Amino acid sequence: MSDKKEKISAIKGMNDILPADAPLWELFENTAESVLKSYGYQKIVTPIVEETGLFARAIGAVTDIVEKEMYSFEDSMNGDKLTLRPEGTAGVVRAVIEHNLAYDGPKRVWYKGPMFRHERPQRGRYRQFFQFGAEAIGFSGPDIDAELIMLCRRLWDDLGLDEIRLELNSIGNADERQRHRADLIAYFEANIDVLDAEAKRRLHANPLRILDTKNPAMQDLVNAAPQLLSYLGEESLAHFEGLKKILDANNVQYTVNPRLVRGLDYYNRTVFEWVTDALGAQGTVCAGGRYDPLIETFGGKPTPGIGFAMGMERLIELMKAQGEPAAPSQCDVYMVHQGQEAQMKAFILAERIRDAGLDVVLHCATPAGAGSFKSQMKKADGSGAAFAVIIGEDEVANDVVAVKSLRGEVQGGAGDGAQQQASVPFTEAVDYLVDQIVGAHDHDHDHEHVHYHP
Ligand code: ATP
Ligand code: MG
């Protein structure tokens, strides 16, 4: 028997988030959640798997996602056609209708979680990626559009991200798009030799999406194409003007990008993207838009909606580019011990310290053994703890513990002269540590381990 085992790796395009990066993710999520909360948004969690038909209908048949990116499979038990969610809006809208969530008025919700798209993996483009999104269901005016946009701005500000700009457009309603579409098709047909294969394929199915092309050879053509904005009727224009007015009054900078589209039937009026130049080709960190007709097409009562989704990997990369966060500490207290009796006392004391609300790492044995005092103290230093609690034979004999400050001077207490280490009776150790650690933070019980310096 060979003891060479086959190495197992993650699926291509699907990433692990390792402990070293976890603090950044946590910081992003905590900040986003508190911003959302400050605007009255509530959390919603929907399943990662839905019926394939939901996405086909909510996203639109002639889109990148539905045409070629969905992870779809048959349930091997009953043959149901299922899909790993490629985005969050469809599931939220399904849940809103299924549970009649908007029955007593409009709702503001947010979600976060993994999405799955079978794309070619590259920087900023993965097969499993995380989105943080919000949906406002039941609001029709431009005020909610502005709120969602300004909520994003507040998040960038809170995270210290200043290289993100806003692009804005209105895609009107279905009638307006229909008239524009006819002219657009005629325009592209007159220039058919400039279209690439994908554009030709989309010419009659989804010509609006051709405007989105990244093909350099087609840029002049799409730049001179008929602009949807000039087909907007009075109501759509008033909505767009209303949005811009609120943004202007609140000092939100934006550029109107007439080529910004959502090529989906159920999207209308406001579309926006937050874009950065700091990430190379995949620079869109957040995309949003209105989808007023969507809920009705799913059999719900006519209910307007608007939302956005942020690509979390791209935002984490932006945060990294601004500077690494300070190394996070694992714990407040690291417990060092030597000998069986000391280990027992350490275990009991660690539980009591946790009861008091502090975080404790108890030194535990590895295959190499429990380790000398010296090697345990090294671990204590590396943990980022404020204090090491040391229990050896002498401490057991005298019913005390040694408390060593790892980050500076001990405040008060029975110092040993150097003010770095104190001998504290076993029964007073918890109070002593709480006093040292919580007291040092002005009795701020909500002490943080992770500090991020942009
Ligand atoms: P693109 O045109 O770049 O493919 P999209 O229109 O497919 O973008 P949306 O469906 O609007 O993107 O998704 C919202 C956000 O989610 C994007 O702006 C991006 O930040 C992020 N995102 C989308 N697809 C991926 C992916 N495969 N990997 C990482 N992040 C992604
Ligand atoms: Mg895409």
- pLDDT tens column, 190-225: 999 999 999 999 898 888 889 888 899 999 999 999
Ligand that lies nearest to the alpha carbon of residue 119, given by its number in the listed order: 1
CA 311 to ligand 1 centroid distance, Å:
6
Tokens coding 338? 């030597």
**DSSP structure class, residue 69:** I
Angle between helices 22-38 and 312-321 (to 10 degrees): 110
CA 215 to ligand 1 centroid distance, Å:
18
Structure confidence at residue 208 (pLDDT) = 83
CA-nearest residue for atom 16, ligand 1, is: 311
Where the chain has pLDDT below 70, the residues are: 1-3, 263-265, 324-326, 409-419, 441-454
Q: Is the dihedral of CA 182, 183, 184, 185 positive or negative?
A: positive
CA-nearest residue for atom 28, ligand 1, is: 125
CA 119 to ligand 2 centroid distance, Å:
8
Residues 309 and 277: beta-carbon distance below 8 Å: no
CA 53 to ligand 1 centroid distance, Å:
21
* C-alpha closest to that of 92 among 36, 162, 42, 30: 42
CA 65 to ligand 2 centroid distance, Å:
6
Q: What domains, with CATH codes, occur in the chain?
A: 22-172+232-321 (3.30.930.10), 333-440 (3.40.50.800)
- pLDDT per residue as tens digits for the range 236-283: 999 999 999 999 999 999 999 988 887 566 789 999 999 999 998 889
Per-residue buried b or exposed e for 150-188, using 16+ beta carbons within 10 Å of the residue's own CB: bbbbbbbeebebeebebbbbbbbbeebbeebbebbeeeb
Closest atom of ligand 1 relative to the 119 alpha carbon: 27
CA 140 to ligand 1 centroid distance, Å:
25
Structure confidence at residue 435 (pLDDT) = 93
Best residue among 66, 129, 171 to mutate for probing ligand 1's pocket (most ligand atoms within 8 Å of CB) is 129
Residues written for the chain: 454
Spatial distance between the Cα atoms of 301 and 282, rounded to a whole number of angstroms: 37
Report yes or no on whether pTM surpasses 0.85.
Answer: yes
Q: Is 370 exposed, middle or buried (0-12, 13-18, 19+ CB in 10 A)?
A: middle
Closest atom of ligand 1 relative to the 284 alpha carbon: 18
| Residue 419 one-letter amino acid | Q
CA-nearest residue for atom 9, ligand 1, is: 287
Spatial distance between the Cα atoms of 118 and 362, rounded to a whole number of angstroms: 44
Structure confidence at residue 439 (pLDDT) = 79
Residues lining ligand 1, CB < 6 A?
A: 87, 117, 119, 124-126, 129, 131, 284-287, 309, 311, 313-314
Q: What is the CA radius of gyration of the chain?
A: 29
